[in-house]
Copies of this chain bind each other. A is one copy, B any other.
Amino acid sequence: MKICTTVQEMRQARATLGTVGFVPTMGFLHEGHLSLVRRARKENEAVIVSLFVNPIQFGSPDDLANYPRALERDIALLKEEGVACVFTPEAAEFYPQGFATQVDVGGVALELEGPSRPGHFAGVATVLTKFFNIVQPQRAYFGQKDAQQCAVVQRFVQDLNIPVEVITLPTWREDDGLAGSSRNSRLTGGERRRAPVLHQALCRARDLVQAGERRRAVLEGAMRDVLVKASLTEIDYVTVVNPETFQTQDMVPENALALLAVRLGAVRLIDNLPLG
């Protein structure tokens, strides 16, 4: 497995490979990431994984500084998975003095995580555009856990005619329902025990929809009840949206998507569940 730290190294390594599946990550890999890598191996001649904690998608310097890192362990895991190439660029080369370009996405990017994390999706779209131009993959793999990010990526890839197929795979979950996230490692023992309540709240909305409920206010109220009863009161949003627009409707559509963002102590967790 080749490890590339510069753009030039990465371009040279890529030129030796056939069809490429690309898995962009911020490292501190979990089973969710590895499920993307395994699918990418099946569908392409080679897999490239990036490990890069992208500074421009963090709003808060604390959040960036506290984001967990485990480069050597990540590299060992990817080697076992038969990855052809790991790309760990330096921020100084990726964003040199004078860097002045941003890929701004409107539409779906303006909802939920958009206002909650100003600049976040522009940072994501900008770094992915750079990666796509350097790695030139046939396919790129993302987890449904970041449902809105997936929609934003689909949007700008289509709008800018980037020649890559964007593939979204189901959220990987722990046995107790907690969605895989690098941030889970920052939960205390007590927080970790309460964290599955996020998924339980989403499941409650799904059960109600399957029983015929379509009123958004009722669904949101039910999810909020589940959270509050478990003393998860620092709720950023709990909602049900149209998955094409990420906008709310009073009566939710058949293919509605429930999403939430909740703070447990120092950690902000997000999760979502298709209700249809």
Footprint of B on A, CB under 8 Å? 7, 11, 98-109, 125-126, 129-130, 133-134, 136, 155-156, 159-163
Contacts and interface: CB of A to CB of B under 8 A. Distances in A.
A254 to B, nearest CB: 20
A107 B99 CA distance: 8
Contacts of A102: 103-104, 106
A160 B129 contact: yes
Pairs of residues from A and B, 5 with the lowest C-beta to C-beta distance, nearest first? A100-B107, A101-B159, A100-B106, A133-B161, A101-B156
23 contacts: A11-B163, A98-B107, A98-B155, A100-B105, A100-B107, A100-B108, A101-B104, A101-B105, A101-B155, A101-B160, A102-B104, A103-B103, A103-B104, A103-B160, A104-B104, A126-B160, A129-B160, A130-B160, A130-B161, A133-B160, A133-B162, A133-B163, A136-B163
Contacts of A134: 161
Contacts of A106: 100-102
A125 to B, nearest CB: 7
Contact of A100 (B100, B126, B155): B155
A135 to B, nearest CB: 10
A107 B98 CA distance: 7
A217 B134 CA distance: 44
Nearest to A159: B101
A180 B82 CA distance: 56
A136 B101 CA distance: 20
Nearest to A245: B98
Contacts of A98: 107, 155
A103 B101 contact: yes
A99 B159 contact: yes
A264 to B, nearest CB: 32
Given A100-B107, A100-B109, A101-B104, 5 more contacts: A100-B105, A100-B108, A102-B104, A130-B159, A130-B160
